[in-house]
């Protein structure tokens, strides 16, 4: 099994999904939400802002180490599975022999946290051609400020066909693993107050409800 630490460092253009316009637009949207280098929140995501990527997109919720479910899933995910993908574990899209390795990469995206892109292959048979694609994973914060959500997308290079597809890691392709190092305001020292005034270093909180 390939260890995350064994993944070679390569130029950005060599990494999985680097030349895919759909994945690039989704990541650009996510990066624009990273004010002051913070990881975006699940509640920051506005579907109308990612129209082009929406059919391929999903929101993952981490429910246990190495286990995540699709809370939201675009139409192309339904087409790959030939069933409603919402509520299904992401492992449903993965071949059994590849699940442990891909679960490790998904866990890395949650816990490092890191941007992860995985080159995928659905092997061909006498009934269908092989299918290649890329899964992109972008960490999100939940209402408690923990990275238990992921904004992701899975794009394929061709149509999935009329049978369910399952994937493994595409041999010979580089996996992208870019750890994030957010500079969070919580680690900064607040200035000493001489009067009982609201601290500029501690902005007011607003209550949000996250049903994701």
pLDDT above 90: residue 166: yes
Arithmetic mean of pLDDT over the chain = 82
What contacts 101, CB < 8 A, 6 or more positions away?
A: 1, 2, 169
- Res. 127 pLDDT band, cuts 50 70 90: confident
Q: Decide if 120 contacts 169 (C-beta within 8 A).
A: yes
Averaged pLDDT for residues 64-69 = 94
Instruction: Pick the more confident residue, 204 or 142.
Output: 142
In this prediction, residues 72-93 reach a mean pLDDT of 95
Q: What is the pLDDT of residues 134-157, one digit of tens each?
A: 999 999 999 999 999 999 999 999
pLDDT of residue 184: 42
% pLDDT > 70, the chain: 78
Lowest mean pLDDT among 7-11, 41-45, 113-117: 7-11
163 compared with 11, residue with greater pLDDT: 163
Residues 6+ apart with CB under 8 A from 212: 42, 43, 59, 61, 71, 72, 142, 149
Write out the two tokens for 83: 């069933």
């Amino acid at each position: 099994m390939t260890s995350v630490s064994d993944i070679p460092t390569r130029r950005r253009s060599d990494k999985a999904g680097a030349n895919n316009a759909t994945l690039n637009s989704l990541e650009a949207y996510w990066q624009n939400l990273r004010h002051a280098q913070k990881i975006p929140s699940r509640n920051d995501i506005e579907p109308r802002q990612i129209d082009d990527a929406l059919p391929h997109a999903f929101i993952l919720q981490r429910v246990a180490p190495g286990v995540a479910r699709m809370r939201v899933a675009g139409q192309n995910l339904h087409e790959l599975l030939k069933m409603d993908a919402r509520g299904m574990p992401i492992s449903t899209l993965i071949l059994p022999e590849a699940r442990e390795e891909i679960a490790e990469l998904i866990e890395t995206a949650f816990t490092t946290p890191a941007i992860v892109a995985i080159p995928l292959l659905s092997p061909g048979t006498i009934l269908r051609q092989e299918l290649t694609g890329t899964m992109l994973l972008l960490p999100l914060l939940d209402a408690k400020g923990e990275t238990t959500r992921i904004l992701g997308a899975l794009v394929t290079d061709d149509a999935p066909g009329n049978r369910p597809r399952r994937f493994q890691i595409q041999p010979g392709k580089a996996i992208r693993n870019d750890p994030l190092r957010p500079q969070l305001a919580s680690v900064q020292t607040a200035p000493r107050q001489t009067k009982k005034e609201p601290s500029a270093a501690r902005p007011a909180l607003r209550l949000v409800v996250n049903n994701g």
